[in-house]
């Protein structure tokens, strides 16, 4: 049976995170089977047990799965390999360490989007500290992250692959490009993503280079706040090992009542 949804997972030297991600897919097996779904795992020639974790999970046969070994060139070459391998009409990227929390809203959302002609669906996403059993989400906030974005695979035929000239911003640039093709907004919390200074997307040096490159190439990309403030905060977080800017805002929202806890299990 041709899959409706291809779930793409990218991993390199993150065996424990990968196990958590795959377990979260198992938790939504009922809905993923109904769709139906397939899983594409792009494994970056890890030196830890990531490959073994992926193979053992695939052997279980809970969902059709393919494991592709790729020379480690970065996240966007891996994401591009994933969609080139995918057979589903729709794509969802849940990278190692991220969690799929609720597969049920995917069923109706994909049907509705097809009926209305919308070619991408933006869900909500929770954030959590690595190792936590609960995350925090903000109702009516739709963060620009690929963990909560589902889109039609053939959009790549029009907009091309993720731009591999960028190191941390190519997914957000692609997201900005495809919005004009019709975007359905769904209030369900689909996924949860780890927030840590170790996240590649929060590396101030890579982010600065991408921002400078976007200006040289005349590619539209904007930060949510003043660049020098963003870079200063990220450098402090990298030095302290704590994403204090994220968690301060989230805890403040919890205090005033416009953010909520959500279980990750």
pLDDT score recorded for residue 66: 96
**pTM, whole model, 2 decimals?**
0.93
What is the per-residue pLDDT for 42? 97
How many structural domains comprise the chain? Answer: 1
Give domain status of residue 27, yes or no.
yes
225 has a pLDDT exceeding 80: no
Token pair 């059709």 is found at: 64
Decide if pLDDT at 96 tops 90.
Answer: yes
What tens digit of pLDDT does each residue of 178-217 get? 999 999 999 999 999 988 878 888 888 998 999 999 999 9
Measured CA to CA in angstroms, residue 30 lies from 20, 26, 66, 86, 188 at distances of 18, 8, 20, 21, 17
In a domain, 93, yes or no: yes
* 258 within some domain: no
| pLDDT value of position 130 | 84
| Per-state percent for the chain, helix, strand, coil, to nearest 5 | 45, 20, 35
Please say if the pLDDT value at position 224 is more than 70: no
The percent of residues above 90 in pLDDT, for the chain, comes to 68
Nearest of 8, 174, 30 to residue 92 by alpha carbon: 8
Q: In sequence order, which residues have a C-beta less than 8 Å from that of residue 131 and are 6 or more positions away?
A: none
Extract the tokens encoding 234: 């990220």
Instruction: Say if CB 151 and CB 125 are below 8 A apart.
Output: no
Q: How far apart are CA 56 and CA 60, in angstroms?
A: 7
Q: Is residue 222 part of a domain?
A: no
The Cβ of residue 239 has, within 10 Å, a number of other Cβ atoms equal to: 9
pLDDT class of 85 with cuts at 50, 70, 90: very high
User: What is the Cα–Cα distance from 110 to 35, expressed in whole angstroms?
Assistant: 9
pLDDT digits (tens, 9 = 90+) for 127-175: 998 888 999 998 887 777 889 999 999 999 999 999 999 999 999 999 9
Could you tell me the pLDDT band of residue 265, with boundaries at 50, 70 and 90? confident
Inside any domain, residue 75: yes
Number of CB atoms found within 10 A of residue 227's CB: 13
Interacting residues of 248 by C-beta distance below 8 A, sequence separation 6+ = none
Q: What is the pLDDT of residue 45?
A: 95
Q: Is pLDDT at 94 greater than 70 in this prediction?
A: yes
Give the domain extent around 114: 5-196
Model confidence at 110, pLDDT cuts 50, 70, 90, reads very high
Confidence band of 40 (pLDDT split at 50, 70, 90): very high
User: 244-256 and 227-240 helices cross at what angle (nearest 10)?
Assistant: 100
How confident is the model at residue 260, as a pLDDT? 92
Question: How confident is the model over 49-65, as a mean pLDDT?
Answer: 95
Within a domain: 251: no
Q: Which residue do the tokens 């280079």 mark? A: 209
How much is the average pLDDT of 78-104?
95
Q: Are strands 260-263 and 134-137 parallel, antiparallel or unpaired?
A: antiparallel
Q: Does some domain include residue 110?
A: yes
CA distance 11 to 42: 6
- The conformation of residue 118, written as its DSSP 8-state character, comes to -
CATH at 98 = 3.90.550.10
């Amino acid at each position: 049976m041709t899959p409706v949804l291809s779930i793409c997972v990218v991993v390199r030297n993150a065996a424990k995170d990968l196990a958590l991600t795959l377990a979260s897919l198992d938790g939504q097996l009922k809905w993923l089977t109904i769709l139906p779904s397939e899983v594409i795992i792009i494994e970056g020639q890890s030196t830890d047990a990531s490959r073994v974790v992926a193979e053992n999970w695939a052997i279980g046969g809970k969902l059709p799965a393919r494991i592709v070994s790729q020379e480690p060139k970065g996240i966007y070459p891996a994401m591009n390999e994933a969609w080139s391998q995918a057979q589903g009409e729709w794509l969802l990227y849940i990278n190692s360490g991220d969690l799929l929390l609720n597969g049920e809203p995917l069923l109706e959302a994909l049907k509705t989007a097809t009926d209305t002609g919308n070619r991408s669906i933006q869900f909500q996403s929770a954030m959590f500290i690595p190792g936590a059993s609960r995350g925090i989400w903000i109702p009516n906030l739709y963060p620009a992250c690929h963990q909560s974005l589902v889109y039609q695979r053939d959009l790549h035929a029009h907009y091309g692959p993720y731009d591999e000239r960028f190191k941390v911003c190519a997914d957000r640039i692609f997201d900005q490009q495809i919005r004009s093709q019709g975007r359905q907004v769904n209030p369900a919390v689909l996924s949860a993503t780890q927030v840590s200074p170790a996240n590649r997307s929060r590396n101030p040096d890579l982010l600065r280079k991408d921002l400078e490159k976007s200006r040289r190439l005349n590619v539209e990309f904007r930060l949510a706040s003043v660049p020098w403030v963003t870079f200063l905060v990220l450098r402090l977080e990298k030095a302290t090992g704590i994403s204090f800017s994220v968690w301060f805002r989230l805890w403040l929202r919890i205090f005033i009542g416009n953010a909520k806890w959500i279980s990750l299990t």
